[in-house]
Each structure stands twice: as C-alpha cells, then as structure tokens.
Amino acid sequence: MAADSSDTQKTPGELRAAARSGDFSGTTSGMAAGFVQCNLVIVPAEFAHDFADFCRRNPKPCPLLATSPSSGDTSLPELGKDIDVRTDLPRYRRWESGKLTAEPVDLCADWQEDHVAFALGCSFSFEEALLADGLEIRNITEKVNVPMYRTNQACHPAGPFWGNLVVSMRPMKPKDAIRAIQICTRFPSVHGAPVHFGDPSQIGIEDVSNPDFGDSVTIAEGEIPVFWACGVTPQVALENARLPLAFTHAPGHMLVTDKTNAGLALL
Amino acid sequence: MAADSSDTQKTPGELRAAARSGDFSGTTSGMAAGFVQCNLVIVPAEFAHDFADFCRRNPKPCPLLATSPSSGDTSLPELGKDIDVRTDLPRYRRWESGKLTAEPVDLCADWQEDHVAFALGCSFSFEEALLADGLEIRNITEKVNVPMYRTNQACHPAGPFWGNLVVSMRPMKPKDAIRAIQICTRFPSVHGAPVHFGDPSQIGIEDVSNPDFGDSVTIAEGEIPVFWACGVTPQVALENARLPLAFTHAPGHMLVTDKTNAGLALL
C-alpha cells in the first residue's frame, strides 16, 4: 500500500508501527523528515564478523551505524525505541545463495536465532542536508530513483564479501558541487564526500545515461555528474558472497530510526 | 639578488631583516616553510575604509589578515615582531593613478603619514597544506608561477574599488580535487575552497593555456582545472580605483610573517 501525504508527518515510531502492523508497505522516501533512515543487512552469525569487517574497510559505501546487540536479538537500541528488525521495515528482500528469491513484508517466518542485523547510513540523510542548503537534487526534482552505477573500483574484500564500488550520481553545476563536497564532508556516516566527479569513464562507467540501478536523470548544459559511494555496494558484496541465506531491505523501503540527520554531523 | 638555499632555513624575522638591509630582494616562494606569507596593499587613509570594505565584501579573493594599527604606523603587530612594512618585503610596486610606475626595494622615500597597510592571505599557505597531504601542485612541480586568469565574475564594489575576480588554477584528478576542496575549506583566510572547476568558459576564461598572469602549466589526461580566488584580484581593483598613489608587494615578493600556516586552520 502506498503512503498517503499524512505519512510525511508521522514520527519514526509511528511509521515503524504502521510497517509492523501491515498498514504501510511503501517506500519511505520523504517520510519522517529529519530522521535517519538506514539500509539493512542481515546475515548468519558465522559471517557477521566478516561483514562488519567489510564495512569497516569500506566505510564510504558501507557506513555502519548499528548492529544487533547479540545474535538473534531483533532490537537495535542504538537507533530507536522498540525497533524490531523483523517487522519494522515496509518491505524486505530474501537472498539465497546470492539470488533474490522473495520480497516479503516481514521476516517473522524467516528469522533465526543466529541472525545478526546491520544498519548502514543512507543517502537520504545527506540529500536532506543539501536541500536545506538550497541545492537541487535532480532525482528528487524529477521524482525518480537516484541513478546508480557499477564502477571498476574494487572494494577491500573481507571473508566471502567482495565486489566493486557502486556509486550514485547527482548532476550539479561546479559551484554547487564544491558546496556539496563541503556539506557531505560533515556527514561521513552517510557516505561522506563524493568519490568522483566529471568523466564517468575514469571510474569505469561507460554510459551515464544508462544506470545499472535506479533511473536516469537529466544532466543539463554546464552541469557535471557528481558520484557518491552508494549503499547498493554492500548488497552487491552480499550477492557475491552467496551466503545460504541473507536479508536486506527492499530498495527505498528503509529502516526509519529515532536518530536525527542533524545529529550525524561531524561538525 | 636571488635567495640561496640557506634562505629556506631562515626564520621569518631573519628573512625580514635580510630584506630590510638590502641583502635579500628575491621572491619568497619556498622561504621560511610553515609560516604565513602575505599580499600587501598600501593606500592613503582617505581610501582605507573603502578598501577594507572591499576586502570584507569579497573575502575569498581578499582575505584580510591585518591592517596598520593607525595611519602612518609602519608596524603590523598582529603578524610579527618589529615588522616595518616600508622595508621588510624584498620588493614593492608603486602605483600612480592606476599605473605601475616603479618596483622599488623599499618604500622609505615614498612613505607618508597618511598611509595605511593591509596584509592579505596568500595561496602559499594552502599550497603547503595540499602538499603536506600528498597532493601535487603542478606549478611547484614545473617550477613556474601559478597560472592566473581574469574572469567574468564581478566583485562587490566598494568606493572606488571594483573589478572582476581573478583566479589561480591548479590541474588535478577529480579525486584529488575533492580532497583539495576539503583541505582548503579549513583555510578561509587564505582564499578557502576553490570557486570553480572544469569548463573554464563558465567563468569567462577563453583559453586556459594562455593565462593573464603567471605561467601556463601542463594539464594531463584525466585532470580538470581547479580554480581558486586569487590575491591578484585586489591589485586589479586597485588599478581600477586609479588612486593618486598606492603600493603593493611585487609578485612573489611577499611579507613573511611570524604566524604559522597551521594556525590559520578553521578546524
């Protein structure tokens, strides 16, 4: 069910309750303005250390904000009151041996006592900071998903997790790109400063008008593409790891937390 | 007389003493590593408020670090012990009605009781911070003056002072440019973050290989030109103001101060 406009006014706790009850299964983009939304990854405990290490070694695409207090614990007390990672996201993805096999609205039937959840920072937080500064975010203006691309930049592998960096792209005038770099530098826990701008081929992107994920956006005369490390990177690493069983959020269906975006600022 | 290599080891006070005695009249590039060097502008007191206001309104090209304690006072106690602005720079320029009329090694014969000196931040400080971070500065590698260009970007005028922004250019890979933006953001008092990168025509530069001041540098494959607000801007505004009499440092012949570059960092 899609969200109605009143959902933008709901508190994070109300949104999680609506997802938990089944009343809300839509995307969380634009919901609970001002609060941090997270990517979610759930892996069996035997792979938890390797996944945490993958995040630590690749902090720009995988900024780890919180993990389960212990295996099988469904709460994330660092991020909010009474969070239940099995039910509080509107939609999930189930991965078996690296293949997407389902998009359930909860993980109640799938949850196992050895599961460990990881919550990672998401671009919604820095997009809010850029908008607040008066910058335009093209994918928001054009009401589409941000364009994302596989690059030729290898992440540091950890255990079974490996893969190339995935980036998101927002076109900007150079002056605005400089401002965006300054603002995003303040937010290392939500991907931080861009990793590249300008010529896409320098990072292995052949056709900027043909993203690997998300939608294409207009690049106007005088604008250059600016590329940020993207939270799809850990999902690709998860696919490559071919774990027997793992879960993520469904794209755009994020964990809405009680933490504020403003509180993530480094300075 | 050119500096010998031992001058790089001299303290700021020793360098000023050598300029004062006439033993040193060369450029100060690379001298007294770690210490702030300044652009100098001297105007009659009746124009001092307007010039200070021009700096305040155009802080990126004209970052004002210190002014004379009062008209006719030749010291700059904010910047160093026993500074005498008439003698302590290796070479000066005299401007009459906006025309360059001499390049004296001191201002003893020219100094008047209504003169007011302004010391402005200089790119040497941020270049040092970029080098310390491992970035390459092309004009340093190629042992030439940084290329500088007149732009089509008007400064805010103040009294008789007006003109377009002048920028300096350093070519970099996008990844290094992002890092340079981060580092220079910490140093607003020495021009701060770049003002533009990429397409030079967007700021009115027709031919990047043909600078208006300084020397051309190599732009390698995969690099983009990065543009900083430049301390030649106030000199252009001074020419435009056509004051009966004014003085500046000669290019590259800076006021070497007792302040450290590290101490200029905002954070």
Note the pLDDT tens digit of each residue in B101-160. 999 999 999 999 999 999 999 999 999 999 999 999 999 999 999 999 999 999 999 999
Cβ contacts of B51 within 8 Å, gap of 6 or more: B41, B43, B118, B158, B159, B161, B234, B238
pLDDT (0 to 100) of residue A9: 81
A54 and A96 co-located in one domain: yes
Please state, in angstroms and rounded to a whole number, the distance separating the CA atoms of residues A202 and A204. Answer: 6
Please state, in angstroms and rounded to a whole number, the distance separating the CA atoms of residues B226 and B176. Answer: 10
A250 and A217 co-located in one domain: no
Residue B256: give the domain boundaries.
5-122+243-261
Q: Extract the residue ranges of chain B whose pLDDT is less than 50.
A: 1-3
Identify the bridge partners of residue B62 per DSSP, sorted by sequence position: none
Contact B199, A176 (CB under 8 A): no
Burial of B237 (0-12, 13-18, 19+ CB in 10 A): buried
A67 and A176 co-located in one domain: no
B114 and B128 co-located in one domain: no
B12 and B117 co-located in one domain: yes
- B199/A178 Cβ within 8 A: no
A143 and A194 co-located in one domain: yes
Note the pLDDT tens digit of each residue in A211-261. 999 999 999 999 999 999 999 999 999 999 999 999 999 999 999 999 999
B16 and B70 co-located in one domain: yes
What radius of gyration do chain B's Cα atoms show?
A: 18
pLDDT (0 to 100) of residue A1: 42
A72 and A56 co-located in one domain: yes
CA atoms within 13 A on the CB side of A214: 27
Number of H helices, E strands in chain A: 6, 11
- B193/A178 Cβ within 8 A: yes
Task: Report yes or no on B267 lying in a domain.
Answer: no
Q: How many CB atoms lie within 10 A of CB A266?
A: 10
- A178/B182 Cβ within 8 A: no
Give the percent of chain A with pLDDT over 70.
97
Q: Extract the residue ranges of chain A whose pLDDT is less than 70.
A: 1-8
pLDDT (0 to 100) of residue A22: 96
What's the predicted TM-score (pTM) here? 0.89
A244: which 2 tokens? Answer: 């027997």
Total domains, chain B: 2
- Chain A positions touching B178 (Cβ under 8 A) are 181, 193-197
B149 and B70 co-located in one domain: no
DSSP assignment of B187-248: -GGGT-S-SEES-GGGGT-S-TTS-SBS------TT-EEEEEE-THHHHHHHHHHT-SSEEE
Contact B198, A178 (CB under 8 A): no
pLDDT (0 to 100) of residue B128: 95
- Chain B positions touching A191 (Cβ under 8 A) are none
B26 and B76 co-located in one domain: yes
Residue type, B131: L
Q: Which residue has the tokens 């403003």?
A: A262
In this structure, what CATH number is given to the domain that contains residue B133? 3.30.2040.10
B223 and B131 co-located in one domain: yes
B23 and B82 co-located in one domain: yes
Please state, in angstroms and rounded to a whole number, the distance separating the CA atoms of residues B110 and A88. Answer: 77
User: Residues of chain A whose C-beta is under 8 A from some C-beta in B?
Assistant: 173-175, 177-178, 181-182, 185, 193-199, 202, 222, 224, 267
In this structure, what CATH number is given to the domain that contains residue B57? 3.40.1640.10
